[in-house]
Amino acid sequence: MSKLIAIILTGFILIQSFHLGADDLLQIDELIEHAQFHKQEHGDDFFVFLSKHYGELKAEHSKNHQEEKSDHEQLPFQCQGHTSIIIASLPHNNATDINEFEILNSKKSSFYYLNLYASLHETELLQPPKHV
């Protein structure tokens, strides 16, 4: 059971690393339906369809086929990942100039050595018999 849970969680992490959301997975049927439309109307195979909607031909296809814009918006994997970072910097007017440095030399230390390493070689518990 724990292996099954580990496999499921690994699958979720893999899907999230590709930036796939649940809404993208639910729109796969729209992708297949639109690919079939392109095959019937334009004679495109699946790889040409992917190139027209996600690859090199995307700009040209969206420019030439404005009537399909509503269908294109329903396709999955259309969102672009982005990150926003806001940094607030507040000036601090009460800053004082540091002109003097105080160097402390302390000779007192609280370090001590404690041997926590134990070896079976020091005891004769597992040693072979000896001839006397």
Q: Domain map of the chain by residue range?
A: 23-78
Tokens of 36: 């079939």
Q: What percent of the chain has pLDDT over 90?
A: 5
Instruction: Judge residue 58's burial from the number of C-beta atoms within 10 Å of its C-beta, 0-12 exposed, 13-18 middle, 19 or more buried.
Output: middle
pTM of the model: 0.47
| Helices 46-54, 28-41: inter-axial angle, 10-degree rounding | 110
Residues 6+ apart with CB under 8 A from 54: 77
Q: Strand, coil or helix: what is 27?
A: coil
**Is 42 or 6 the better-scoring residue by pLDDT?**
6
Residue 16 has pLDDT above 60, yes or no: yes
